[in-house]
Structures are given as structure tokens and as C-alpha cells.
């Protein structure tokens, strides 16, 4: 952690990790490899990451500093990075190498952590709570562990930063947890945290012109066995679309009548209707 | 124009995104409720569409006249009222930009670009419309500043404005009336009743009044007693923008007509398959394209620093007439449904008429064009 000048605020160095995902839920699965078939499907920035990006831009606006956007993936992710710049990120870094192909969450986190270490130190690292394609929600926490810094998931509000401490609201099922944590920190955010701004005209113009930094495997000095497929212990056994439940019956009419019909149907189907208290 | 410059292309895209994501919601409030939506300036600012022509240091994009016209055209396809919000802002800030001091620019322009303050341009009075030199509002010298007395009518954004650029008589004894008027930046004025207009609704068009209102001397825009001349020098830009608004409005009306004609079936087939409809559509697009090229041509002349007064008037005259024709034809294609508020053509029809009237009536435009030709030869 960089030392803040006495009584002074330190401009925030913020990193936002984004993922390019298919812009639809209708992606087909390759039956042979169990991987997603992305060809011909429009790619978008993972929606949760847009909230992380917006929060990063807000931190910059409030405390000064700069926002660096990182994305790991094939060369196409450049378009996601440029889009992020059009929203207000200052610079973009693409982490791309053939040897990264097939990374699971562990290998991805190792690679992201190595990148963040080289580009950093960052005060705040932001990610979306999960990606809408893999839906694991693991990369954030794993990256923080690799970096040896604390992390908080499901952040729904950043109350503020004072000196070296950040105050957060973490979303729970019934309410939220207000907590304070030291910087540097990695946060994954939920969509309740903000409303992302639109890309501005000037942002778009900048996004076309700004050079994107590209980091390859050799730049990260990672041993080959921890990146890509060889660094990925996860084995996908089978990916399939679960059969959609068919049939079903909707009970209409007055609530009393509908409930009676429902109960009768359940009884006829041999489903026991006894509650725990025996009634 | 075979291909757009990158900045123009991005500007068009940005305006289209605004139309797709934001315009409808604002339009409801503006047209139905005749209410100015307070979030509109901030939202436009987020898209980077406010203060486009300002220099970078004042929060702008140093956009040229063609770029401004393209944005206005694009916005007007869906919401001519939102497009006119930009036209109005460009007019009031335009004179500050062109004739104002550095201090005035630094004070008044950045908050406009950020969507935090709204300017109005207060020229028209009850007895002074086309004959602007007939204004009665007076600013009497008092020490370092002025005392302003009078009232202004039909001021776009007047009801929500934080400041206004006001034309007032500063030398009642001037031999020629138009040599005795000045432009002043005025705050703290009284806002009168808001007009309930036929179209371009929700822009808080209001009366403004001033009673012995003190105005600091540093708020004089340009030279004292040359306000009328300054306005004449800056009119052409506004006319190009109104032309662009009319082009967009006309295109929006045609787009709606085409959409409707393809889905509406009569006699067993879509009405778009009938030649009667096809000819109307073909005529409309031809005229719109001609109006568009006149508009872009005037903007390009302006951007090149060449004389463009006649061309700006031609564009404004022709485009606003085309807009009126197109909304009439489009509504005709819509038949009875077009007469209902269910379809956008209903408000486009009402929004069109004013384009033949404001920013110099089309009769005034003809005078400008004719004089320009007659004086030259």
C-alpha cells in the first residue's frame, strides 16, 4: 500500500476486471467438448462488470486518480476494453495469449493476479459478482487470495474511503452488512450498487484513439503449468441443457376455490399434505 | 457525402443511442404533461451532447456546425422538442461563445455543458417578433452596471432558466434603433406563466419580466449598443440548426409512415403495396434528401468560414416546408389512426408547424434570400 501524505487524500488507483461474454442466453453447447459455441454470437461486456466499472469511475471522480480496465481473453476482447474506455475508464490492458486458452477460474485468477501485480499496486480492484456465462463467482475471491489482499463480495455500496480504510455495505439475503476493511482490497459488486452511465460522445472518440496495452504470457513471467488448460484442475464432465418441465396446471378463479382445487389435485396425486404440527 | 468523418459518425451513433434508450420517457413528460423534465440536461450531458460546440476547456467537444446539425437532426427524428432544447441552448450560449469575455465563458459555459444550469435566449417581445428592432425592454446605465426593465415573451426554457441572454435598449437616443441595443447576461428575473403550446411542448416557454433589475456591467456581452448587430451576425447558425431539426422531423414522419404502411393491411394486402402510397413515400424521401443536402451545404460553408447567410435561409425555408408537407402526408398514410395520440405522427404533426415560424418566419427567410441576390448584382 502506498503511504498517503499526512492529512492528505491519495488519488485512487483503481483496476476494473471485465469479461467479454455472449450477449444472449441462447448459446449452444458443443456436444463433443462441452464448451460454449461463441461463433456468430454478439459479444458484450458482462453486465455485472459494468456496475464495477461505474463504481470505479465514481471513485476516481470522488477521490481523484485513474481507472485501468483489464480483460483476459482472445483478441476480440479489445472491443470490450474500448467500450469500457468510452464509459470513462482511463486506460485499457488486454491479457491475451494462446497459452491462456482453456483457463478455468483458478488459472484465470492466477493470470489476473500476475497482471495486477505488474501494473499495480492498485488501491481498489473491482469486479462484477459473477459472469453471466460461467456463473461461478469465483475469479474475484481467488484473485484476491493470489494477491494476498482482502476481498469482499456482493458489495452494494461504497460508503467512503478514509485514509487507508474503506467502508462498505455487503448485500445479504435479508439486509446488509456494514463493514470496514483496509486497502488495498478486491471487491465484487452487485447491480444494486449504482446505475451505470451511458457512453459519452467524447468517451467514444477517446476509445477509438487510445492505445490498448497488450500483455502476453512472457510479460507476466508465469510458469506454463499454472496458466491455460494445464493450470486448470477443473474438468467439465458434461454440459447440458436441462429438460424444460412440461405440462403444469394453473389454478384460476377465486383464491379459496383455487386453493381447494390445488389441494384436491395434490391429494389425488398422492402427495401428503400434513404439516409439521400435524394439522 | 459518401463517408462521415469519425467524429460525425460517433456523434450520430451517440444520438441514436439516446433516442433508443432515453427519448421516449422524456417525450411522455414533455408532450403529454407539457412539463420540462429536470433530468433531461444531465442525461444529455452524460451522453456528451450538451455544449458540443464549446471549447474543451469549458467542457465542450469543439464540434463544428455540421456535427451540431447532425445531432439535432438525429434527435428530431424521435423528439423534435429535445432537439429544440439543443437549438435553444446553442443560440443563447452561441453569442457568449462568439462575443463574450473569457470570464463570461468560464463562468457560464461549463455548468451548461454539465447539465447543471439552463440558459435562455430572450429577444422576442409582444410587439417585437420579426421586427426585433421594435423591442421596448430598457437597460439604463447606473454606475458600473445597468438597471433592466421590461418583459420578454415566448422565451424557450424561460420557465426553467438559471440565466438568460437578454436584448435591451441601452441607448434610446440612437439615431438608428438597432444601433442602441445591447446583449446582457441576466439572472434573478421574474418568470411569468408558461405557454400551453401546440407542439414542441415541455420546453417551459414562458414570459420573463424585469423590474429595475440590477445587472452588473461585466455581464454585457460583446460591445455596448451593438447587441442587435451581434444577433444578426449569429443568426445563420440558428437557421442551420432549425433546418436540421426540420429534416430530422420530416425523416421521422416518413419512417413512421413506412413502418405503418408495411404493417397496415387493407383489401387483403399491406397498404405499402399500393402505388398511391409508394408515390407519396418516394416524393417525401426525395424532398427530405434535398432539404438535407441544403442543410449540410450551409453547415459546411459555415465551417469553412465562407459566407452562408443565403444558404442558411434557403435550408431553413425549404426544410421546414418539407417537414410540414411530410407530416401531412405521413398522417394521411396513417389514416384515422394517425389522428390518435397512440401514434408518434400525431405529435410530429403538431411539432412541425413552428419550424416555419420561429428563427425567422419563412417569409423573412425569403426576404433574406432575395435581398442577398438583388444586392449582389
- Of the partner residues A197, A201, A208, the one whose CB lies closest to the CB of residue B14: A201
State the smallest CA–CA distance between residue A78 and chain B in angstroms: 18
pLDDT tier at A7, thresholds 50, 70, 90 = very low
DSSP chain A: -PPPPTTPPPPEEEEEEE-EEESSS-PEEPTTT--EE-TTPPEEE-HHHHHHHHHHHHHHHHH-EEEEEEEESSTTHHHHHHHHHHHT-SEEEEE--GGGTT--HHHHHHHHHHHHHHH---SEEEEES--TTT----HHHHHHHHHT--EEEEEEEEEEEETTEEEEEEEETTEEEEEEEESSEEEEE-GGG--PPPPPHHHHHHHHHSPPEEE-HHHHT--GGGSTGGG---------PPPPP-------SSHHHHHHHHHHHHHHTT-----TT--
Chain A: residue whose CA lies nearest to B16: A201
**If DSSP codes are grouped into helix, strand and coil, which group holds residue B142?**
strand
Partner-chain contact A200 B47, CB within 8 Å: yes
Q: Tell me, yes or no, whether A252 lies in a domain.
A: no
For A96-107, letters b (16+ CB in 10 Å) and e give bbebbeebbbbb
| Residue in chain B lying closest to A209 (CA) | B6
Statement to judge: residues B245 and B210 lie in one domain: no
Is it the case that residue A259 has pLDDT exceeding 70?
Answer: yes
Tell me the C-alpha to C-alpha distance, in Å, between residue B127 and each of B123, B124, B364: 11, 8, 17
Contact B52 A201 (CB under 8 A): yes
Containing structural domain, residue B46:
6-117
Q: Looking at the partner chain, which of A198, A199, A208 has a beta carbon nearest the beta carbon of B6?
A: A208
The answer to whether residue A181 sits within a structural domain is yes
Same domain, B184 and B87: no
Task: Tell me which chain A residue has its CA closest to the CA of residue B5.
Answer: A205
Domain boundary among B200, B225, B250: B225
Mutate to test the interface with B, among A61, A87, A200, A201 (most CBs of B within 10 A): A201
So what's the pLDDT on residue B330? 98
The set of catalytic residues of B is: 359
Domain that holds residue A193: 12-231
Domain containing A164 — which CATH number?
Answer: 3.40.50.620
Which chain A residues are Cβ-neighbours of B64 within 8 angstroms?
none
Ranking A250-259, A267-276, B24-33 by mean pLDDT, the lowest is A267-276
B242 & B365 share domain: yes
Query: What pLDDT shows up at residue A224?
Result: 84
Same domain, B212 and B178: yes
Q: Inter-chain contact B17–A199, Cβ cutoff 8 Å?
A: yes
This prediction's pTM: 0.85
Position A1 confidence tier, pLDDT thresholds 50, 70, 90:
very low
pLDDT of res. A206: 94
How many angstroms separate the CA atoms of B103 and B90, rounded?
Answer: 19
Same domain, B112 and B130: no
Q: For residue B164, what are the β-bridge partners?
A: B120, B186
CA distance B320 to B356: 5
A201/B10 touch (CB, cutoff 8 Å), yes or no: yes
- Chain B residues whose CB is inside 8 A of the A197 CB are 46
Residues A55-100: tens digit of each pLDDT? 999 999 999 999 999 999 999 999 999 999 999 999 999 999 888 8
Q: Is residue B18 part of a domain?
A: yes
- CA A266 to chain B, closest CA, distance in angstroms equals 46
**CB contact, 8 Å: B196 with chain A?**
no
CATH of residue B106's domain is: 1.10.540.10
Flag whether B285 is in a domain. Answer: yes
- The answer to whether position A124 is within a domain reads yes
Report, as ranges of residue numbers, the positions in chain B whose pLDDT lies below 70: 1, 377
B73 with B148, same domain: the answer is: no
Measure in Å the smallest separation between the Cα of B155 and chain A Cα atoms. 29
Last residue of a domain, one of B71, B99, B117: B117
Q: Which of B225, B260, B291 is the last residue of a domain?
A: B225
- The per-residue pLDDT for range A122-159, each reduced to its tens digit, is 999 999 998 888 788 899 999 999 999 999 999 999 99
Q: Looking at residue A30, what is its pLDDT? A: 72
Question: CA of B300 to nearest chain A CA: how many angstroms apart?
Answer: 21
CATH number (domain holding residue B319): 1.20.140.10
Positive/negative CA dihedral, A171, A173, A175, A181: negative
pLDDT tens digits, B231-253: 998 889 999 999 999 999 999 99
Task: Give the per-residue pLDDT at B320.
Answer: 98
Give the position of cell 460461467.
A134
Q: Are strands B220-221 and B181-186 parallel, antiparallel or unpaired?
A: antiparallel
Report how far apart, in Å, the C-alpha atoms of B287 and of each of B92, B221, B314 are: 31, 39, 14
**Is residue A121 included in any domain, yes or no?**
yes
Q: Would you say residue B1 lies in a domain?
A: no
Instruction: Judge if B235 and B309 occupy the same domain.
Output: yes
Question: Per the domain annotation, does A85 fall within a domain?
Answer: yes
The CA distance from A47 to the nearest CA of chain B, in Å, is: 16
B24 and B145 part of one domain:
no
| Domain at B175, CATH number | 2.40.110.10
Is there a domain that residue A262 lies in?
Answer: no
Q: How confident is the model at residue A33 (pLDDT cuts 50, 70, 90)?
A: low
Count of domains in chain B?
A: 3
Q: Specify the pLDDT at position A242.
A: 80
Taking CA atoms, what residue in A is nearest to B71? A201
CB contact under 8 A, B17 and A198: yes
Say whether both B236 and B210 belong to one domain: no
- The mean pLDDT of chain A is 88
Q: Kindly state whether A204 is in contact with chain B, defined as any CB-CB distance less than 8 angstroms.
A: yes
Is the pLDDT reported for residue A236 higher than 90?
no
- Asked if B215 and B330 sit in the same domain, the reply is no
Contact B126, B195 (CB under 8 A): no
Q: Are residues B369 and B331 in the same domain?
A: yes
Q: Which three cell numbers stand for residue B339?
A: 389522428
Same domain, residue pair B244 and B368 = yes
Do A201 and B17 make contact, defined as CB atoms within 8 angstroms?
A: no
Query: Three-state DSSP class for B94?
Result: helix
What pLDDT sits at residue A2?
Answer: 53
Chain B: residue whose CA lies nearest to A208: B6
Residue A274 lies in a domain: no
| ipTM metric | 0.82
Any domain includes A240: no
The shortest CB-CB distance from A198 to any of B7, B47, B61 is to: B47
Per the structure, how many domains does chain A have? 1
B21 contacts A198? CB cut-off 8 A: yes
B11 to chain A: which residues are within 8 Å by CB?
A: 201
Report chain B residues whose CB lies below 8 A from the CB of A201.
Answer: 10-11, 14, 47-49, 52, 61
Amino acid at each position: 500500500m502506498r503511504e498517503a501524505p499526512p492529512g492528505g487524500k491519495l488519488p485512487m488507483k483503481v483496476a476494473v476486471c471485465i469479461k467479454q461474454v455472449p450477449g444472449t442466453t441462447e448459446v449452444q453447447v458443443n456436444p463433443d467438448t462441452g464448451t460454449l459455441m461463441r461463433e456468430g454470437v454478439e459479444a458484450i461486456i458482462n453486465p455485472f462488470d459494468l456496475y464495477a466499472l461505474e463504481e470505479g469511475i465514481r471513485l476516481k471522480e470522488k477521490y481523484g486518480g485513474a481507472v485501468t480496465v483489464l480483460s483476459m481473453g482472445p483478441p476480440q476482447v479489445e472491443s470490450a476494453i474500448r467500450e469500457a474506455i468510452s464509459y470513462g475508464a482511463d486506460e485499457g490492458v488486454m491479457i491475451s495469449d494462446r497459452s491462456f486458452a482453456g483457463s478455468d477460474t483458478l488459472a484465470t485468477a492466477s493470470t489476473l493476479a500476475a497482471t495486477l501485480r505488474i501494473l499495480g499496486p492498485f488501491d481498489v480492484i473491482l469486479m462484477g459478482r459473477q459472469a453471466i456465462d460461467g456463473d461461478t463467482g469465483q475469479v474475484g475471491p481467488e484473485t484476491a487470495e493470489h494477491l494476498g489482499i482482502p476481498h469482499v463480495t456482493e458489495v452494494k455500496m461504497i460508503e467512503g474511503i478514509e485514509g487507508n480504510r474503506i467502508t462498505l455495505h455487503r448485500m445479504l439475503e435479508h439486509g446488509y452488512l456494514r463493514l470496514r476493511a483496509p486497502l488495498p482490497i478486491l471487491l465484487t459488486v452487485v447491480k444494486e450498487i449504482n446505475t451505470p452511465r451511458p457512453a459519452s460522445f467524447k468517451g467514444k472518440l477517446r476509445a477509438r484513439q487510445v492505445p490498448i496495452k497488450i500483455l502476453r504470457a512472457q510479460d507476466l513471467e508465469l510458469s506454463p503449468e499454472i496458466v491455460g488448460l494445464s493450470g486448470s484442475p477443473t474438468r467439465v464432465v458434461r454440459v447440458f441443457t436441462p429438460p424444460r418441465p412440461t405440462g403444469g396446471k394453473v389454478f384460476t378463479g377465486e383464491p379459496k376455490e383455487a386453493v381447494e382445487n390445488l389441494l384436491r389435485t395434490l391429494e389425488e396425486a398422492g402427495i401428503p399434505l400434513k404439516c409439521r404440527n400435524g394439522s | 457525402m459518401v463517408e462521415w468523418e469519425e467524429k460525425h459518425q460517433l456523434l450520430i451513433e451517440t444520438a441514436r443511442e439516446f433516442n433508443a434508450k432515453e427519448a421516449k420517457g422524456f417525450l411522455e413528460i414533455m408532450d403529454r404533461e407539457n412539463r420540462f423534465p429536470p433530468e433531461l440536461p444531465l442525461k444529455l450531458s452524460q451522453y456528451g451532447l450538451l455544449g458540443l460546440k464549446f471549447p474543451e476547456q469549458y467542457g465542450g467537444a469543439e464540434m463544428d456546425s455540421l456535427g451540431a446539425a447532425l445531432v439535432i437532426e438525429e434527435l428530431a427524428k424521435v423528439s423534435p422538442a429535445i432537439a429544440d432544447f439543443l437549438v435553444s441552448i446553442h443560440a443563447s450560449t452561441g453569442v457568449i461563445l462568439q462575443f463574450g469575455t473569457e470570464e463570461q465563458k468560464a463562468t457560464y459555459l461549463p455548468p451548461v455543458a454539465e447539465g447543471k444550469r439552463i440558459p435562455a435566449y430572450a429577444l422576442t417581445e409582444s410587439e417585437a417578433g420579426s421586427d426585433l428592432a421594435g423591442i421596448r425592454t430598457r437597460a439604463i446605465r447606473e454606475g458600473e452596471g445597468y438597471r433592466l426593465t421590461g418583459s420578454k415573451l415566448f422565451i424557450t426554457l424561460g420557465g426553467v432558466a438559471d440565466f438568460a441572454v437578454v436584448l435591451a435598449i441601452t441607448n434610446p437616443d440612437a439615431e438608428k434603433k438597432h444601433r442602441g441595443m445591447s446583449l446582457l447576461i441576466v439572472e434573478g428575473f421574474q418568470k411569468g406563466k408558461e405557454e400551453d403550446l401546440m407542439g414542441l411542448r415541455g420546453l417551459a416557454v414562458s414570459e420573463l419580466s424585469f423590474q429595475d433589475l440590477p445587472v452588473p456591467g461585466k455581464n454585457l456581452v460583446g460591445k455596448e449598443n451593438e447587441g442587435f448587430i451581434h444577433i444578426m451576425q449569429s443568426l445563420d447558425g440558428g437557421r442551420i440548426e432549425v433546418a436540421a431539426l426540420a429534416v430530422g422531423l420530416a425523416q421521422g414522419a416518413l419512417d413512421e409512415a413506412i413502418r405503418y404502411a408495411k404493417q397496415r393491411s387493407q383489401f387483403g394486402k399491406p397498404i405499402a403495396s399500393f402505388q398511391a402510397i409508394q408515390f407519396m413515400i418516394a416524393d417525401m424521401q426525395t424532398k427530405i434528401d434535398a432539404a438535407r443536402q441544403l442543410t449540410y451545404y450551409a453547415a459546411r460553408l459555415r465551417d469553412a468560414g465562407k459566407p452562408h447567410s443565403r444558404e442558411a435561409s434557403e435550408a431553413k425555408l425549404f426544410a421546414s416546408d418539407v417537414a410540414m408537407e411530410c407530416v401531412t402526408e405521413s398522417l394521411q398514410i396513417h389514416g384515422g389512426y394517425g389522428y390518435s395520440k397512440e401514434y408518434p405522427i400525431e405529435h410530429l404533426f403538431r411539432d412541425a408547424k413552428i419550424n416555419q415560424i420561429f428563427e425567422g418566419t419563412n417569409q423573412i427567410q425569403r426576404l433574406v434570400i432575395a435581398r442577398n441576390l438583388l444586392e449582389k448584382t
